[in-house]
Chains A and B, each alone.
Chain A
């Protein structure tokens, strides 16, 4: 028997260590559950970390109300199936004021329904540590993100005030009101995530798999019609064989043309495609360095 871990087993080992460390050292951890593929992998890793016990923290979904119906169905069915505790939070006051991406623009909408809502939910729950599925590979400002990302009492991130992380010795000391965002998938790539989903047979939202979907075709971007976005002159929704590379709100998550209807086909597409997965996230392209600015405000 060879005593060497494959790269996926090495990543799994690192992530499980992080889950256990946080569960042991923090009073009220929570897992931010976005329903996407990274969340699915996080959930499986958490199950493994505490097996045969239950996952010792709740899941928190920040629902903007503009999520895909299939995401919510998957969320409710899957979390019930594995016996996880689910908290759903919406920024009800902003929603009753009619917040939506068409009226506010994507930046303000995201600020209110996602960032604000997330910070409120964390405060209300008294959570001192929140797991997120962000990966360093995803975007430039995340390449320097810590596994334990320190947030001040306003939930904000200061790139100059992050703690050095050596070995796997994480410093979880915080004062009252401060918190830590924890990224157990820091060192995973998109390919690692899909490969792990494949090997472990992890359920994911069907939106990842290609099928004919009603879309607005706007330049290279495909926008779902699910929440009836405003059409530009001359646009008509059409059925496009497509799938989502990442999941967010219907308006801000562009689909890609694809016929990949299985995990191996998705991986084949990924290996051949050479397009960064966040490219179709409208939000990252608002302005140069925009993800870094969102993080400073408290977004992931």
Chain B
């Protein structure tokens, strides 16, 4: 599937993604992102030193969840240009997290690269834990491929 920019418009909602978070989700995500800090694998440390209710998803792993969510939508030709995160709360084992996204702009830059700006939220029980403002390049046609852009033609 190749999403092209003509199928993207401001206000468009992406299909939500829900996922039941387990201890394994948190630990696997932390170790895959080389994050050895104990609050992401040691329950006792998280509770008694950090004062949180359990271990929790680390930020690099949340970034990977956001990337997966966006490229599930765009297909493999979607190329991330920029992401800005704001952390507001934590995601714990036992939570069902939900990712939602809405397109805030669909534009073509001066180099001819098409972009979708997407506001993505990760929430639990309707409470937003992390926001991500993402900018992702999307082909202008079936023949276009943002991954071929370099230097002056890539303006993320």
A, B in one complex: no
Residues of chain B touching chain A, judged by Cβ–Cβ distance below 8 Å, are none
